[in-house]
Amino acid sequence: MIAPSFSRELLERYGSPLYVYDLDEAERQAKALFELLPKGAQVLYSVKANPLPEVCAALKNAGCRVEIASLLELEVVREAGFAPDQIMCSGPGKTASLVRDMLVAGVTHFSCDSWYDLERLAGVASATKKPANALLRLQVLGAPSGSVGVGAMQSHFGADPAELLNSGAARVAALQGAELAGIHIYSGGQIQTADKLASTFEHAIHLAEEIAEAGVPLRLVDLGGGFPWTFGTSDDPVDISALREKLQRVNAQRRLTAEAKLWFESGRYLVASSGTLLSTVLDVKVWNGKPHIILDTGMIHLGGMAGLGRIYRAVASIEPLAGRDGALLQSVDVVGPTDYALDYVTRDASVPALKPGDAVSIPNVGAYGLTASLVAFTGSQPPAEVCCRGSSVVAVHRLRTGHERIRA
């Protein structure tokens, strides 16, 4: 958590609202995650969670690779110092142009969402005479009840595992231009217990063993992620420390894939706790007998994947920079600065009395914060984003929005 005195200093220098990212915290989280995983396992940071180059560089320092889905993200991770062989290009919407540009840049690993996606990669790789290693993403089928994360069972992503289990060896052998290096299984996000996480990974490993038994060799098994962390609240994170022992047991079950490298992915768990959103009270009024706090931030800066309904849940924690110090608490609703009725930051929050000009903070917003918000709505200037270590500022960014006129 950023110290209140440093927070006030940053607000004076860069204005309000303001995102602040603690790079040391991101590195600590990465190292903590590596401690939970089997020896030799690799963690890929999902850059979409927070695409600032300094955040990516901090995770590189901690030993992570990266997973990207666009040329802009490629530019970011190259600036952060990642070598091409530390990058995986993922996503179901890859065009031939995107694949070509990735290959020319030296990227060699791709997660393919279907056989068509895999064959497109092979074709472009053949044409460019560049090496391509593919992981075929597979659908989550037959997973234990309750062991998958948000949206996984309804997901349209990935190929049917039967495409590898039934005559897959011959199809893989006939592939020209790209090599099928392994499989990619993503079971969703925010899996809430160590038991459920372990069960998810166990199911994926059993599937990998079946595929290897069907004659498809696997050098890489990407088990995805799902490691949970709170968003926008000061609630204690889910304790998944028991995952280490459970994963050791699961890993010991590997036979035909014992030599395959294990990859895991994470965005939220790695960087959520590094981020704090600082904001200022614009107004305080009573409506329908209840105090309403109006902040200079809301869904335009704190969407938290607004498309998933985050703005309806409105559960953020509001922490006054002045502290609580035993002050009498009152129940308030906290809203954003737009005239949209759903622009709530939180409802029924217990906070000390606040007045216009007071500064507050919202914790755990380092992942899916600003870039997952409705930043184009109302055309307001996005807040600055400050990367720091201790009380030293490392870099400051501002997201650019607005329309660019192009030739008709």
Q: Is the pLDDT of residue 134 over 60?
A: yes
> Alpha carbon 249 to chain centroid distance?
27
Q: What is the number of alpha carbons within 13 Å of residue 102 lying toward its C-beta?
A: 32
Q: Which of 27-41, 125-139, 140-154, 198-212 has the lowest mean pLDDT?
A: 140-154
Q: At 88, list the tokens.
A: 């995986």
Judge whether residue 306 has pLDDT over 70: no
- Per-residue CA distances from 125 to 110, 159, 220, 226 (Å): 11, 21, 20, 31
Q: pLDDT at residue 320 above 70?
A: yes
Q: Tens of pLDDT along 222-232?
A: 999 889 888 88
- % of residues, the chain, pLDDT over 70: 93
Q: Which fold has domain 90-266?
A: TIM Barrel (3.20.20)
- Picking from 198, 163, 197, 167, the residue whose alpha carbon sits closest to that of residue 183 is 163
Please give the backbone phi and psi of residue 51, each rounded to the nearest 5 degrees, phi first: -95, 30
Instruction: Give the per-residue pLDDT at 163.
Output: 87
- The CA distance from 245 to 376, in Å, is 45
Top-confidence residue, 395 or 236: 395
- H or E element at residue 324: none
* Bridge partner residues of 185 (DSSP): 138
Same fold? 90-266, 273-398: no
pLDDT tens for residues 28-70? 999 999 999 999 999 999 999 999 999 999 999 999 999 999 9
Angle at 92 between CA 90 and CA 95, to 5 degrees: 90
**pLDDT at residue 159 is higher than 60:** yes
| Coil vs helix vs strand at 26 | helix
**pLDDT band at 364; cut points 50, 70, 90:** very high
Lowest mean pLDDT among 274-288, 308-322, 386-400: 308-322
Pick the CATH number of 273-398 from 3.20.20.70, 2.40.37.10, 2.70.210.12, 1.20.1730.10: 2.40.37.10
**pLDDT of 235 above 80:** yes
CA quadruple 360, 366, 369, 375: dihedral positive or negative? positive
Phi-psi region of 223 (alpha: psi -120 to 50; beta: other; left: phi over 0): alpha
Pairing of strands 359-362, 319-320: antiparallel
The residue ranges of every structural domain in the chain are 90-266, 273-398
Question: Does the pLDDT of residue 153 top 90, yes or no?
Answer: no
* Cα–Cα nearest to 128, from 105, 111, 151, 103: 103
* Proportion of the chain above pLDDT 90, given as a percent: 60
Q: Is it the case that residue 259 has pLDDT exceeding 80?
A: yes
pLDDT at residue 365 in the model = 93
Task: Share the mean pLDDT of the chain.
Answer: 89
